[in-house]
Structure 1
């Protein structure tokens, strides 16, 4: 029993390896890498941010609540690093304001003012061409003895419808045979010459025949001034075409009898027997193509003025 009490006691200790410090270093390294990434990201943002945005960032960190509530640079600015207070609806990207939906691209259409200016320029150029034609005809009348002797019977003027050329009768020199639609030789010569000039212009032509108020003995039932004026207008049309005018240029050929008198004060005045040729401007042409086209009417005062100027030439 005594021997058993003196047996040695052996205590076994397990020695753990102490070559490593566990996984604590991994956490520290991860924190270091994260800090470095944050640092380089901050450096990149500071280097690529405009000066105004930097001021907004600084303002945000000074008073973040104020900036967030009031908005402005650094909070509502869509280009700011820190977005606070929502988008600034007053900021525009190009021509589009924030808060607006993109609309289809507008096509630049001509304004009413530009269209009116273009129309006025076209009318001015057309008027210049008509005045040049008037001058050419007047020069041809003066240069040719066969026409110069009839210059008192040729009245040229510019009206609201265009260039008007009127060939009027004189007491002792009528354009047509008495009560007939037969052209006198000199009248035909005048029309042949005018037809040559008219073909040089692109404008359309209006042609009307007129008589005085002297009635036919047979009255209105058979052959009246209406038929006579229409036949004389057509006889003049054939002479103009023979002179070189393209027939497709004619827009209107009418006989007006004595309805539109040249001299309203004297319906029987020989000057009322006339052929009126109008080189129409664009506006008059468009009006004639529609229902209700108008015909230029000359007043008695204009008649006396034109006859006086014709006699002075």
Structure 2
């Protein structure tokens, strides 16, 4: 039995699903199933029961689960201590990032980690902001970037990476210009609408409810860059991010109709109890350098090697 099988055991138990565990571990479902089967055969115990809802941990499995967590923690501490003894940093970092969470900063961070701490294995997962927070709290992520959701984050240590405001935007000439938005008329215009799990998805839902309108056509897009491109090409209207300090009323082929949110922050976060973790401390030290903006990103070939599954 090896450390990878223990990690599989813990992940399946936490997620209650081989499918979800395989996605998080970047392994095939047959490989995850084989890990569980091999553990059960080695131990002579049944660790899971398959139910209509997924994988349920047996009483025996539950007792061993606590030991597995402790073994994984000790394994990580073993690697950290070995790093200290040889004067270098090694270990694993599972990092979450929203699709719109300062992509440049994330890229620069990965480049810096690859260059300065090549023995740290980094796994990057793209998730919605609420899923990044969920992952940090349930242990499937060590840290992550997310757009603030307004929920209590007192259990987290955070660093502000950037901020932006949100505008309702339209293609030039699609919506008549006026000092006040004619909300009723916007029902006839296609809306480019993100998922409700995203920052702009929640804002769009609240905006429609506030003004009592139901768009006749909705196009679901979860990427702000794609939304902006569709608006610019005349497809419809939607929410876009703008510079908080100097938003422009018109950006190329996009007209900013009205401000929806004055300020939204993009944050880097991890559990407060992990503030002294050497790998997380290394990440924080890099981010503290002008929020990584001073680090040139040149497509270092080592980055691909760093983005491997833990």
Which category of TM-score, normalised to the shorter sequence, fits these structures? under 0.3
Determine which structure has greater relative contact order: mean sequence separation of CA pairs < 8 Å that are 6+ residues apart, divided by chain length: 2
Higher strand share: 2
TM-score computed with the length of structure 2 as normaliser: 0.22
TM-score normalized by the length of structure 1 = 0.22
